Amino acid sequence: MCTCAGSVMSLTAGLLFGIAAFVGAYQMSRNDKDIWVSLGTSGSLTAVMGARFLSSWTFMPAGLMTGASLLMFVRIGVKILQTSQKKKT
């Protein structure tokens, strides 16, 4: 195992965000309206990894995670808008 500086913190953050993403996906699979954990997780990852990407300009892993998280955040946002449009009609 690598004893590089920051590896334990990265592993811990990765596990926590992975668990949160799993819980959010599970909740959304059970109930389409239960989106808040997924929205919070993807929004947080977009902000954190986006800041890392802008400071380093390296695609792996910061740019890739920023892009994937942003896509998920937008997907959930579109789902919210579609649901609110269905309620109005």
28-50 confidence digits (pLDDT tens)? 999 888 899 999 999 999 999 99
Q: In which domain, by residue range, is 20 found?
A: 7-88
Q: Is residue 46 part of a domain?
A: yes
At residue 2, the pLDDT reads 52
Q: Is residue 13 part of a domain?
A: yes
Q: Is residue 29 part of a domain?
A: yes
Residue 31 — φ and ψ, nearest 5°?
Answer: -150, 120
Q: Is residue 2 part of a domain?
A: no
Which of 16, 35, 14, 15 is closest to 24 using CA atoms?
A: 35
More confident residue, 31 or 87: 31
Instruction: Give the span between the Cα atoms of 37 and 53, in whole angstroms.
Output: 24
* Domains of the chain: total: 1
Confidence of residue 18 (pLDDT cuts 50, 70, 90): very high
